A = this chain, B = another copy of it.
Amino acid sequence: MSGRLAIVGLGPGATDLLCPRAASALAAATDLVGYGPYLARVTDRPGQHRHGSDNRVEAERARHALALAAAGRTVALVSAGDAGVFGMAAAVFEVIEQGDPRWRELEVVVHPGVSAVLAAAARLGAPFGNDFCVLSLSDNLKPWPLILDRLTAAACAGFALALYNPLSKARPWQLGEALDRLRRHLPGTVPVAFARAISRPDEQVVVTDLATARAEQADMRTLVVVGTAETRIIRRPGHDPWVYTPRSVGRDRAQ
């Protein structure tokens, strides 16, 4: 089989946060596959075919991209942020493992991108300057009790948390329950940030603490950052505060 599939992370949104390698893969494609609003971010090129879909059919989209590649096309499958972090990459490999054995002969390459967690962290300061966990609150693909267990284990062990998919119209209560769970185990003073649509024109950042954080402060485009007991907020008059987690634990700082 001679087809090629590039799984491309588009980054958080701003054009200058798209890696040149990813941009080259997009330019080289004969066919672009992806969720409509993400495809809309990609520069139009004459002769390229676009195959948009809605957001709920990852496996179907992956199969479509693989079938095009198997037919000899040069396909770019796009994903927001980094395709390996709650993006399309895992869906493609799931489908390959269960699908046509000849798909394993295809050239499949994942092009990394700036994930939402890295973009949010950079915008805030350095909340993930020490150990951290990246966790999706969506219970579409895993049981809710498991998500609460992971949240508790990570928080109690002192990891900062990056929470993807905090809520949606179909999942309105999960973030509230997650914050309640965290309040049982962490001090109310732990910094919490809501980082929405980072690097996009409608970017919004709210820095608060665990005691006062409310689920209503997030939507489906928000990454929720929960610090640790050691995470610090540096206030600056007239500017957003900086949020950072020190590199050291239980030692003198700034050595």
Determine which residue in A24, A84, A86, A127 has the highest number of CB atoms from chain B within 10 A of its CB, and name it.
A84
| Complexed CA–CA distance, A133 and B134 (Å) | 6
Q: What string of 1s and 0s marks CB contacts (under 8 Å) between A11-55 and chain B?
A: 100111111110010000000000000000000000000000000
- Interface centre among A94, A96, A127, A236, by most chain B C-beta atoms within 10 angstroms, is A94
Tell which of B21, B244, B251 touches A141, judged by Cβ atoms closer than 8 Å: B251
Size band of the A side of the interface? 35 or more
Contact pick for A146, options B16, B82, B249, CB 8 Å: B249
Q: Does the CB pair A90–B136 fall under 8 Å?
A: no
Q: Is the interface of A mostly helix, strand, loop or mixed?
A: mixed
Interface residues of A (CB under 8 A from B): 9, 11, 14-21, 24, 58-59, 82-86, 89-98, 104-105, 108, 110-115, 118-119, 121-123, 125-136, 141-143, 146, 149-150, 153-154, 156-159, 232, 234, 236, 242, 244-251, 253-255
**Copy number of this protein in the oligomer?**
2
A135 & B131 in contact (Cβ 8 Å cutoff) = yes
Q: Which residues of B contact A158 (CB under 8 A)?
A: 146, 150
